[in-house]
Structure 1
Amino acid sequence: MRRWLVALALAGTVVMLLGGCARPHGADGDLTDDWPTLREPKMFIPATDACLPRITAVVQAGTYETVDCARSHLAETIHVGIFTDPAIDAGPRPEAGTPVLRVARAECDQRAREVLGGDWHSARLSLTIALPSTSAWASGARWYRCDLSETDSIDNTRPVNRVGSLRGAMVGDSPLTHRCFDPKLIGANLNYMAPVLCTEPHRAEFVGVYTERDMTWAEFIRSNQKVHRRCMGLIAEFAKVPNNSELPYRAGSIFYPPSQREWDEGDRGVRCFLWSDDRKLTRSMRGAGPKGLPAS
């Protein structure tokens, strides 16, 4: 009797198992064609028109973070471009401060001007390029990110926290724009430029930016006199005085070139300042003319 019960129990089990394998009504018996197609994984690309709580030269998808531009942030992504040069595509990931990034920096520079409404060199701003990680590059990522940041001063280009987007920040009378300065000297050497109101006593004023010709960094640092003459031309135009032999008796120049890293990436924007050696100024020299900026 016990054997019979066991046999019935086993038989019932087999029936149940076999019943589990029976084809339901309307099924075709193919277990491979009814699953939804899996989506192909998408390559991570950072967002544009987004603000960032921190600045990184390399962007990792796992730690990528954005914040509302109405909140405190350190940078704003104004553009994300794609490398299209086959030589770049086939090679290793470009490194910061290398000529390979010239095309990217030129594109970032143009986009920055469009977003700001002016030349970022003329203001307390910095423009940096961020790249994918080496592993992402090896997996096919070919993007570069253009980030704008507000800086502390012309001398201290460390990014500072700000609230609000930089879009349109250079339209009109912008507080970011370089204006008048009272340079602090150590002996005959410039230590730093203290920003002041143009109605306060000062000896220097920002007059503009010129684009230097293409040359190596070593060649540029040997070209001080040529840079000085280019800036003197901007001073004459700014102050509306003749660019002649009397100009050196009216004013001198101070200039700020890009950093070597920026230069090697293709930035050629040189910032020029009027320098008054013999007297303090208490107004802007814009359009001052020969009487406002006399030869002495």
Structure 2
Amino acid sequence: MSPVPHHLRTLAALLAVATLCLAGCGDQSAPAADEKAPELGACRVLTPEDVAKPSNDTDSVACSEDHTAETYAVGDLPADLHDADYDSAELGSWAYETCSERFMDFLGADDSLVMRTVLSWAWFRPSEAAWDDGARWYRCDVVGGGEQSKDYVQLPTTAKGLLLGLPKDRWMVCAEGATVSGSVKVPCTETHDWRAVTTISLDSLGKDYPGDRLVEVKTRDFCSSSVGAWLNYPVDYDYGYTWFRQAEWEAGNRRSVCWAKTPK
């Protein structure tokens, strides 16, 4: 896990496919491909490189085939955002809140569990060209990995309800490396050194960002005790934690993650 939440981390959009009209053509040209709202439930093969870009025009595939992404929410942006700048913080905050809530509902998970899954989400807008032409839809995709994933894992035919009950280790996030910070995040079925085991909500610190130092201290103190409890209070144990800074706080993230060192 990185200082950017797995699921936030992705302000992506669909690429316009412009249709040019030569001299002598009719008055009307075909609409850009992403001026139409995307399809709910569509599956795609996305990579970390795809979701890191501001736009994407990857074709959908049958959900019975191999895929790494599934669209779980689509719709029109609210009217009060129609005049927002394409990359405005206001638009990003709205997308974070909307996609996060629907991500939890779709997977059947609470705030804590979604911070400890290898799955994340990405949100998509029309391309800048389509935006300039008036397109105002959004799309939220569940993807099989986070920002520090080298590759995305394959998803089942549908990810709906995937985290209900006791999730399988293949959907939970672990880390491979000497420390949690900056380590490669992998499914817990793969070789790993750390497991994300608990989280702490920092809502009690107030609406305004309280500063890096206070967030880190609160996280560290909680993780020290909660990881010890999770390990059944051994005499000796190692723990780590990841916490998020002001930009993510202002976008709506208020949780830090506690990691337990796992035996080889």
**Pair in the same fold by TM > 0.5:** yes
1:235 to 227, 250, 264: 227
CA distance in 2, matches of 1:189, 1:173: 24
Report the aligned-residue RMSD. Answer: 4.0
Q: Deviations over 1:81-124 (max 9, x none)?
A: 433262x22222235xx353222211111111111122332211
Note if contact 1:81-1:104 (Cα within 8 Å) is conserved in structure 2. Answer: no
The reply to whether residue 83 of structure 1 matches residue 80 of structure 2 is: no
User: Which letter maps to 1:165?
Assistant: T
CA distance in 1, matches of 2:244, 2:103: 16
Alpha-carbon deviation of 1:64? 5.6
CA distance in 1, matches of 2:95, 2:75: 7
Partner of 1:209: 199
| Other structure's SS at 2:158 match | coil
CA distance in 1, matches of 2:54, 2:36: 13
Length-normalised TM-score, structure 1? 0.58
User: Which letter maps to 2:62?
Assistant: D
Partner of 1:223: 215
CA distance in 2, matches of 1:50, 1:262: 28
User: Which letter maps to 1:112?
Assistant: F
CA distance 1:233–1:47, change in 2 (3 Å)? farther
Note if contact 1:51-1:69 (Cα within 8 Å) is conserved in structure 2. Answer: yes
CA distance in 1, matches of 2:102, 2:257: 20
Note if contact 2:86-2:131 (Cα within 8 Å) is conserved in structure 1. Answer: yes
The reply to whether residue 127 of structure 1 matches residue 121 of structure 2 is: yes
The reply to whether residue 65 of structure 1 matches residue 55 of structure 2 is: no
Matches for 1:109-258 after TM superposition, within 5 Å: 109-118=100-109, 119-151=113-145, 155-156=148-149, 158-171=151-164, 172-178=166-172, 184-185=177-178, 204-213=194-203, 214-216=207-209, 219-220=211-212, 223-235=215-227, 238-239=230-231, 251-257=237-243
Q: Deviations over 1:152-207 (max 9, x none)?
A: x89536534445321222133423343776x6428x98755777679x9x874432
Give identity over the alignment, percent: 20
| Other structure's SS at 1:122 match | coil
Gaps of 5+ in 2: 1-30
| Other structure's SS at 1:72 match | coil
Length-normalised TM-score, structure 2? 0.64
| Other structure's SS at 1:185 match | coil
Gaps of 5+ in 1: 1-40, 242-246, 283-296
CA distance in 2, matches of 1:108, 1:48: 13
The reply to whether residue 92 of structure 1 matches residue 78 of structure 2 is: no
Note if contact 1:179-1:195 (Cα within 8 Å) is conserved in structure 2. Answer: yes
Partner of 1:52: 44
Note if contact 2:173-2:185 (Cα within 8 Å) is conserved in structure 1. Answer: no
Partner of 1:23: none
Partner of 2:257: 271
Alpha-carbon deviation of 1:48? 1.3
CA distance in 1, matches of 2:163, 2:116: 9
Give the number of aligned pairs. Answer: 221
CA distance in 2, matches of 1:138, 1:193: 38
CA distance in 1, matches of 2:74, 2:100: 12
CA distance in 1, matches of 2:189, 2:58: 40
